Amino acid sequence: MTSPSHTDATEIPDRLRGPLARMLASWEFLLLIVAILIFFFNTQASPYFLDAWNLSDATFNFTEKAMIAFAMALVIISGEIDLSVASIIALVSTSMGFAVQFGVDTPLLIVIAIAVGAACGAFNGFLVAMMGLPSIVVTIGTLSLFRGIAYIVLGDQAYSGYPASFAFFGQGYVWWVITFEMVLFMAIAILFYTLLHRTSFGRSVKAIGNNPTAALFAGIRVSRVKFILFVLTGIMSAIAAICLTSRLGSTRPSIAVGWELEIVTMVVLGGVNILGGAGTILGVFIAAIVMGLVTFGLGLLNVPGIVMSIFTGLLLITVIALPIVIRRTHRRAS
């Protein structure tokens, strides 16, 4: 027999629970606990983990990918997906490298990068939002197209010789061990948090993800919103390309290979519904830190890169499958 207190608690709707109870029951809180546990295990596994400069270097494991993940989160919440982001990085980096051969300086390199990234995003957005093609098909196609162009331009060669001032974006420090990339990551997180959770545009994105037909009848310009989301993703891929190219100091057509899997994993691990309609930027923010800590911890233990790839694939499958298994278990129990 169920106790009265238990019955009363289960009958209280989520909207009537206190803020603390909602926070403790949230996916974001669970991720935060996981991040703390991973941090603790890393301190026990390696004596070098708590070194301030090592922790600073650890941020490079996730900041560039997380910048794209914030934009990707909005795309997935809207019911779409963009698998071409890593290839956009390759094309943007190749464009900057090509421009450097003609003596282009840092400010114009940034303009070129943003323009190429926005153009790639606009191309995806046009095919998906305006032409009505499935985003997964379109972006698999442009995944090959964009990187293919980079390979045609570069072949087996590499571009280098970037201006000294360009190195600041991927190697510069704002204060002590605080990198420019980390500051940029925090600023972008705040920007996308505000965009998704504090604006009518963000509410439109969620409405489209839940029911695009109802959103259209509610007066939301569905095609325009989706087009903007793909352009945003292209721009964020360009910003990530600037940071990554600056950090590496060179451009190769194989740059950022496989990043699309890690970025999607980051978004889904952050609690964004892969089918659209729900998700938070805070969740993606914490998920990025979790994946960064795991990658850095495994690196300190000299775990091969292929093992990290296997871990990422298993994590993506687990995070997608877990809610489905839980729902089915609840149905059978009821």
pLDDT in tens, 97-112: 999 999 999 999 999 9
Within 10 angstroms of residue 34's Cβ, the number of other Cβ atoms is 17
Helix then strand then coil, in percent of the chain rounded to 5, is 75, 0, 25
Which domain, by its residues, includes 123?
49-333
Please state, in angstroms and rounded to a whole number, the distance separating the CA atoms of residues 189 and 70. 7
Model confidence pLDDT, tens digit, residues 246-265: 999 999 999 999 899 999 99
Token pair of 147, please? 């990187």
**CB contact set of 261 (below 8 Å; sequence gap of 6+):** 312, 313, 316
Helix (H) or strand (E) holding 178: strand 178-179
Please state, in angstroms and rounded to a whole number, the distance separating the CA atoms of residues 140 and 254. 17
Please state, in angstroms and rounded to a whole number, the distance separating the CA atoms of residues 185 and 239. 10
Residue 2 lies in a domain: no
Please say if the pLDDT value at position 21 is more than 80. no
Residue 16 lies in a domain: no
Please say if the pLDDT value at position 327 is more than 80. no
Residue 28 lies in a domain: no
Task: Give residue 4's pLDDT band: very low, low, confident or very high (50, 70, 90).
Answer: very low
**CB contact set of 125 (below 8 Å; sequence gap of 6+):** 226, 227, 228, 229, 230, 231
Residue 34 lies in a domain: no
Token pair of 246, please? 């600056």
Model confidence pLDDT, tens digit, residues 185-196: 999 999 999 999
Task: Give residue 9's pLDDT band: very low, low, confident or very high (50, 70, 90).
Answer: very low
Residue 58 lies in a domain: yes
Count of the separate structural domains present in the chain: 1
pTM here is 0.90
Residue 131 lies in a domain: yes
Please say if the pLDDT value at position 8 is more than 50. no
Please say if the pLDDT value at position 5 is more than 70. no
Residue pair 281/197 in contact (Cβ under 8 Å)? The answer is yes
pLDDT above 70: percentage of residues in the chain: 95
Task: Give residue 174's pLDDT band: very low, low, confident or very high (50, 70, 90).
Answer: very high
Write the CATH number for 145: 1.10.3470
